[in-house]
Amino acid sequence: MRVLIVEDDETVAAGLVEGFASASFTADHAAAAEPAESALALTAYDLAVVDIGLPGVDGLELIRRLRRRGIGVPILVLTARDGMADRVQGLDLGADDYMVKPFQLPELLARARALIRRSRSATSSDLTLGPLTLDLSTHTATLAEAPLSLTGREWDILEQLMLAVPKVVSKQKLVESLSRWDNELTPNAVEIYVSRLRVKLDECGVAIRTVRGIGYRIDELTTA
Ligand code: CA
């Protein structure tokens, strides 16, 4: 999952990037509204964490611009302790949730996950397809009720495929989801991880299909 941190305070931003990374997110950082707006227009983020108090164009104006452009990314705003008016206005402008500074990282991460789940209109933290289940809160996978051991990269790819069911995930999106591991990743590397996943999933009720020229899709195998 990919998150954009929009925060001008370098210390807070570094803490957030590290916190999200440790929770298996790919976290990018923008220190002002303009680069954030460009990044969110160009890249499909799963979440934006937006500090209201940005220099120049503030967080509220950023949210207004994003929503006016039809960018529907879930937004969690960060406000000062006495910023009730900001919180209300932020929510009115289209933010989805808020946290008051100083915040506890575990709570922020839990809210982030909840927002992402809500935005995908799922009701639990489990992604299930046939005999395969990914538990997003504990980062564990099971296949036919047996634990499925995955590397971090394999998990990232499988999560993207499971979140997209029944749609195809482009190879480029998979490359992006792996960029927290390796910035120089090529589409060929994605092929390698997919083939490893196929070995692990082999004949257990689900299959990763190649959609030529586009990407991959995970399907449930039906027994006829
Ligand atoms: Ca600030």
Complete DSSP assignment for 111-123: HHHHHHHHHTT-S
- Say whether 126-220 and 2-119 share the same fold: no
Tell me how far the alpha carbon of residue 90 lies from the centroid of ligand 1, in angstroms.
Answer: 15
Residues in Cβ contact with 104 at an 8 Å cutoff, skipping those fewer than 6 apart: none
Q: What pTM, to 2 d.p., does this model score?
A: 0.60
Q: Is 126-220 in CATH node 3.40.930.10?
A: no
CA angle in degrees (0–180, nearest 5) for 48-49-51: 130
Tell me how far the alpha carbon of residue 87 lies from the centroid of ligand 1, in angstroms.
Answer: 14
Nearest C-alpha neighbor of 109 from the set 120, 125, 94: 125
Answer whether residue 223 shows pLDDT above 90.
Answer: no
Mean pLDDT of the chain: 90
Answer whether residue 69 shows pLDDT above 80.
Answer: yes
Residues with CB under 5 A from ligand 1 (ion): 8, 51, 53
Largest CA distance in the chain: 62
Tell me how far the alpha carbon of residue 194 lies from the centroid of ligand 1, in angstroms.
Answer: 41
Tell me how far the alpha carbon of residue 56 lies from the centroid of ligand 1, in angstroms.
Answer: 11
Top CATH class of 2-119 equals alpha beta
Under the banding of pLDDT at 50, 70 and 90, the label for residue 121 is low
Per-residue pLDDT tens digits for 5-26: 999 999 999 999 999 999 989 9
